[in-house]
Amino acid sequence: MTPRGRTNQLLYHAELLLGAEVKDDEHAAARCMAHEEGALATLEMALNAALRELTEHAQLPRHDWRELLSDGGPALAALVQMRELARRDDSWLAVLLTRLDELHAVDGAARRHGGTEGLIATAQDGALSDQLDTCLRAFKAQLAQWRETSEEW
């Protein structure tokens, strides 16, 4: 499989996890959380695969998003664009990176749905699956542009 094919495969798998129907039984909440965190973990793998794909020409030894998107990361065009996007709090990449940090934290990223009567919800507190779906769609759209930039090199 090519690096591009692997990136596409992982994005598709994340999409499948987000679109999976959850049976309405006593395990529904846990199953929904598992799908959300599974999709998030798959998106992390897709991000790393995309970074490998987009930086293939630079022959980097590692392709971890934390390293490549840090301020001290390589000064490659696609990575500079990604860093700038990640700095914008309202961007899909900033949301995804925040959720990835949560995924690796003790509490995880997914939350139980329902049982929150009396609590005021904000747009930022939307369902993780909705946020991930938005990130996934934007990731796929942006990836075409990054691939074009990478091919120019």
Note the pLDDT of residue 57: 84
Note the pLDDT of residue 20: 87
For the chain, the structural domain boundaries read 3-111+122-152
pTM, entire model: 0.86
Note the pLDDT of residue 6: 97
Q: Specify the higher pLDDT residue, 152 or 46.
A: 46
Reply yes or no on whether the pLDDT at 153 is more than 70: no
Average pLDDT over residues 94-101: 97
User: Which of 7-16, 30-39, 57-66, 109-118 is predicted least confidently?
Assistant: 109-118
CA distance 142 to 47: 12
Reply yes or no on whether the pLDDT at 56 is more than 50: yes
What confidence category does residue 114 fall into, taking pLDDT thresholds of 50, 70 and 90? low
Given a contact cutoff of 8 angstroms between Cβ atoms, the answer to whether 27 and 117 are in contact is no
Reply yes or no on whether the pLDDT at 66 is more than 90: yes
Reply yes or no on whether the pLDDT at 130 is more than 80: yes
The SS3 assignment for 88 reads coil
Sequential DSSP letters for 113-127: -S--TTPPP-GGGS-
Given a contact cutoff of 8 angstroms between Cβ atoms, the answer to whether 41 and 103 are in contact is yes
The contacts found for 37-40 with CB under 8 angstroms, 24 or more apart, are: 37/103, 37/108, 37/109, 37/110, 39/14, 39/129, 39/132, 39/136, 40/99, 40/100, 40/103, 40/109, 40/110, 40/128, 40/132
Kindly report the number of other CB atoms within 10 A of residue 66's CB atom: 13
CA distance 95 to 93: 5
